[in-house]
Structure 1
Amino acid sequence: MVRELGFMQATLAATDYPPSSVHTIVELGNRDSLTAVELVALLGLEKSSVSRMVRKLIEAGEIEEVPNEQDARSKKLQLTEQGRQTLRAVDAFAIERVSAAMTHLTRTQQQTVSDGLGHYAAALRTQRLGAPPPDTPLQIARGYRPGIIGRMVEMHATYYARHANFGQPFESLVASDMAELMGRLHNPRNEVWVALDGERIVGSIAIDGEGEDAVLRCFILDDSARGKGAGKRLLAEAIRFCDEWGFRATKLWTFKGLDAARKLYEDVGFTLAREEEGEHWGGRITGQWFVRPGAGNPPGS
């Protein structure tokens, strides 16, 4: 991540080199070797400027020319041992500076900065290479993990405050309900799944299976996970679980207006059973109850 950042100082990262030279060292460290033509494309500089910079780095003992096995007419550039030491120093300096700054932020702010830098780095790659990198698929994981209750509550509170003006009473209720449900996961008829972006929880769904009917709960996605198929995959895991246990039916409560979620529910066999308007958490909404018959149980059974 640090290696994607650019700065405007005359020299950079505790070296005596200008940013373009440090960028060259970093790129060679990332790729082992590059031709001068490839380096021009990566840096976005004039060929003559890159040639002068490369010559100075060779004279300084940071990089060296080696034969190009793919094209005998050109040579490749790679770091010398001195260059690799310089790269390690650049990385250490950058990590120390970023780490020191991050200590002044809360964990939530740190995650926001990390996400933002990731998007910025992706945008730089897109601008430089002309095409965005493919998205890394989100991982779906089953069972409790540290931080799951807090992330479920945070995602619910943030989303519903924005879309339905729900406030503290709603957040407190979600926190209480999620903590209570997580305390019952020793019953194998109860389960939870999360969508993971690396180690970060960006989606969740749970089945409360204490009775003959299962209750689908905690279905939420972080904004960063929307449009990546995570909701459909989470829902599929929950429905498969319900069918394996043979619940009489699976039920869920939601409210009118969440059309994207409703389509997901209906795609896996849920139908609207009842609607009722009322006051909830500081606003008037139309509550909706959806039901999906269990495997082998026709509607109305």
Structure 2
Amino acid sequence: MISFEERISAVRHFNRFMTRQIGALREGLLHSPYSLTESRILFEIATNEDPAASNLTQELGLDAGYLSRILARFEEKGLIKKERSAKDARQRILKLTPEGEKAFSKLNERSYNEIADLLGKLSESEQQQLINAMKTVEGLISKNECLKFSGPYFLRQHEPGDMGWVVHKHGLLYSQEFGWDERFEALVSQIAADFIINYNPKRERCWIAEMNGEIVGSIFVVEGSEDTAKLRLLIVDPKARGMGLGSQLVEECINFSKQAGYKKLVLWTNSVLKEARHIYQKKGFQLVKEEKHHSFGHELVGETWELLL
């Protein structure tokens, strides 16, 4: 009997073999401009009835931020569009545009032809052996749900109506969890309004997190100066906590700030927000300033954190 290490090597060898067979390492899968992941996303949108963006992360086992960036590129290229679900207005349904349908049709035809060519080189009995072996592999692996690594949420950029949720959720949760009064809600409202009025898409960004068709989180990057970006308004609904969403949102801010050319990312928070402070520490932020203040009906300790990019 082979050792466990040898079994791992055998599985990795099989993965590399199948990757070569389907051409996943070529610059474009099936001689197209799309990667394996992009092609799979197009396939899911084309073949599933009313696919919701918030469900694709779990279905495909993809990082939420990565999927968001791919869908944003698809929208820019005119391959997909988003529509409100007729069954649930909270959900956003992905649809292929005529251009997207044309792209998928080519991919689907080429995939069919390549598989037909592969099977055509095998005898009838060999084809049946292959199908049976594939069913065995699929059946064994599908029993192990731990192989799905992604969270059940989806990240996207802000759209009309989102700022109302951001203001409402901040006002509600901070009142329930910390006893802060409506002056905090007024502050959040002002920050959100300033973001919309002065929005610079090359230098600023808002991420909205959805889960099961509902908004469950948000975070912002706004321009502070030529070299400094500000992280603002991180919030995660209690129903989505414990899934790594807060950490994912902060990571998106860090990556965007680097790509936008900022040299430093700063944020202001309060010492009572222990969960958020823990995320900032894990991401490498350093506490650089503390000051006592009376705000929102409480005596608080404000904190300034910085991350050099």
Which of 187, 191, 199 matches 1:177? 191
Which of 143, 152, 155 matches 1:141? 155
Letter in 2 for 1:233: Q
Structure 2 counterpart of 1:268:
283
* Paired residues of 2:202 and 2:260 also in contact (CA < 8 A): no
Aligned identity (percent) is: 30
Which of 190, 202, 208 matches 1:188? 202
Distance in 2 of aligned mates of 1:136 and 1:269: 23
SS of residue in 1 equivalent to 2:269: strand
Structure 1 counterpart of 2:245:
230
Q: How much is the aligned-residue C-alpha RMSD, in angstroms? A: 2.5
Distance in 1 of aligned mates of 2:149 and 2:261: 36
Query: Which string of whole-angstrom CA distances, capped at 9 and with x for unpartnered residues, describes residues 91-123 of structure 1?
Result: xxxxxxxx9xxxxxxx9xx9xxxxxxxxxxxxx
Query: Which string of whole-angstrom CA distances, capped at 9 and with x for unpartnered residues, describes residues 47-88 of structure 1?
Result: xxxxxxxxxxxxxxxxxxxxxxxxxxxxxxxxxxxxxxxxxx
SS of residue in 1 equivalent to 2:304: strand
Decide which structure has the larger Cα Rg and report it: 1
Distance change (3 Å), C-alpha of 1:137 and 1:279: same
Distance in 2 of aligned mates of 1:182 and 1:208: 11
Q: Which has the higher helix share?
A: 2
SS of residue in 1 equivalent to 2:290: strand
Q: How many residue pairs are counted as aligned between the two chains?
A: 165
Distance in 1 of aligned mates of 2:229 and 2:150: 32
Letter in 1 for 2:192: M
Letter in 2 for 1:149: M
Distance in 2 of aligned mates of 1:207 and 1:157: 20
Structure 2 counterpart of 1:150:
164
CA drift at 1:280: 0.7
Distance in 1 of aligned mates of 2:268 and 2:286: 12
Residue 162 of structure 1 pairs with residue 172 of structure 2: no
Query: Which string of whole-angstrom CA distances, capped at 9 and with x for unpartnered residues, describes residues 125-157 of structure 1?
Result: xxxxxxxxx999333323221321111112211
CA drift at 1:216: 0.1
* Paired residues of 1:143 and 1:193 also in contact (CA < 8 A): yes
CA drift at 1:198: 2.9
Residue 257 of structure 1 pairs with residue 269 of structure 2: no
Distance change (3 Å), C-alpha of 1:187 and 1:137: closer
* Paired residues of 1:140 and 1:234 also in contact (CA < 8 A): no
CA drift at 1:238: 0.8
CA drift at 1:210: 4.6
Letter in 2 for 1:188: K
Distance change (3 Å), C-alpha of 1:182 and 1:163: same
Distance in 1 of aligned mates of 2:170 and 2:204: 20
* Paired residues of 2:222 and 2:232 also in contact (CA < 8 A): yes
Letter in 2 for 1:173: L
* Paired residues of 1:140 and 1:193 also in contact (CA < 8 A): no
CA drift at 1:197: 1.0
Q: Runs of 5+ in structure 1 lacking a partner?
A: 1-98, 100-106, 111-133, 295-301
Q: Runs of 5+ in structure 2 lacking a partner?
A: 1-86, 91-147
Distance in 1 of aligned mates of 2:182 and 2:229: 28
Which of 257, 261, 279 matches 1:246? 261
Higher relative contact order (CA 8 A, sep 6+): 2
Distance in 2 of aligned mates of 1:189 and 1:270: 20
Name segments (4+ residues, structure 1) moved above 4 Å. none
CA drift at 1:269: 1.0
SS of residue in 1 equivalent to 2:206: strand
Letter in 1 for 2:259: E
Distance in 2 of aligned mates of 1:182 and 1:174: 12
Distance in 2 of aligned mates of 1:218 and 1:140: 18
Letter in 1 for 2:271: K
